[in-house]
Amino acid sequence: MFLHRYKFLKNKLIFFIFNVVSVFCMNNQNPEPPIKGAISFGDISFDIRYNKDSNRHYIWIHGDEKTAKMAIMNHLKFYPGKGFFINSQDREVNYLDTKIDPNRIFSRSGSFKTLKKFKPEWAPGTLKPALDKLDIQREKFLENFFPDSTGLVIAVHNNSRGYNVKDELKFSTKVSLNSKQSSKDFIICTYEGDFEKLAVGPYNVVLQDKLPSKDNGSLSWAALRNGIRYINVETRLGWRTKQEKMLEFIIKSLDQ
């Protein structure tokens, strides 16, 4: 009996050591992508990280959405692509004497709204220069950030409040919902060919290929306006494995 137990424990220990060693080796084979540069949108800076360069550009733009950051970082251990990571711990970033949401400044109308949201009163003659400044900074940022016309932007986000795919239906031209999926986990794409490939999978997917008359300043609309394919991967905060699986599913589906 004692001998049995000893053997059992010994086997368990060997199995445990084997697992630790193999995880260690796997991590060494697939290191986290190192920082290789930076770009900025005015004072908002983004580190550029990758192991293997490609015209697939991943972006983490909301500093409070930590799951999304980890998901991209993990994804880039295994797949080629450039990751752009905002240098911020918070959702909003400082701008002049106020704050802005960095994913609401990709159009003038969106910028106007976000500037007014965080600072309702602007002294006469100060709001227009602030908007003009963002216009110039935006153009410069997008020139550096967008891949070539055959590339793809993948934005990775998390939600924790009420936001879900139903909020996106009014902007969508095609929809593929799966009732087994949480409505808070979904994919937005701007190119119909991508939608067709992704819609056959298990996830909630919507196509947004028509610009609204007044957009909210999200990067997705700027990508669409500039003819750059864009995909948004949204999951609940904390659902890292889910988000990593969605990223992997997207890349495998598009490469078929």
**Which residues contact Zn ion (rule: CB under 5 A)?**
62, 157
Pairwise CA distance, residues 106 & 61, whole Å: 12
How is residue 228 written in tokens? 């750059």
Query: Which residue, 91 or 140, is less far from Zn ion as judged by CB?
Result: 91
Query: Which residue, 77 or 236, is less far from Zn ion as judged by CB?
Result: 236
Contact 131, 111 (CB under 8 A): yes
Contact 207, 195 (CB under 8 A): yes
Sheet holding 44-49, edge to edge: 35-41, 44-49, 82-86, 56-60, 152-159, 229-236, 186-189, 204-207, 174-176
Residue owning tokens 């990709």: 106
Query: Which residue, 51 or 232, is less far from Zn ion as judged by CB?
Result: 232
Query: Which residue, 63 or 81, is less far from Zn ion as judged by CB?
Result: 63
We find the least distance from the C-beta atom of residue 156 to Zn ion, in angstroms, to be 8
R_g of the chain, CA atoms, integer Å: 21
We find the least distance from the C-beta atom of residue 9 to Zn ion, in angstroms, to be 47
In eight-state DSSP terms, residue 255 is T
Query: Which residue, 62 or 242, is less far from Zn ion as judged by CB?
Result: 62
We find the least distance from the C-beta atom of residue 232 to Zn ion, in angstroms, to be 9
Query: Which residue, 138 or 157, is less far from Zn ion as judged by CB?
Result: 157
- Note the helical H segments in 84-126: 108-118
Query: Which residue, 62 or 197, is less far from Zn ion as judged by CB?
Result: 62
We find the least distance from the C-beta atom of residue 158 to Zn ion, in angstroms, to be 6
We find the least distance from the C-beta atom of residue 88 to Zn ion, in angstroms, to be 12
We find the least distance from the C-beta atom of residue 34 to Zn ion, in angstroms, to be 25
Contact 105, 98 (CB under 8 A): no
We find the least distance from the C-beta atom of residue 92 to Zn ion, in angstroms, to be 11
How is residue 24 written in tokens? 């260690």
**The 3-state secondary structure of 16-40, one letter per residue:** HHHHHHHHHHHHHHCCCCCEEEEEE
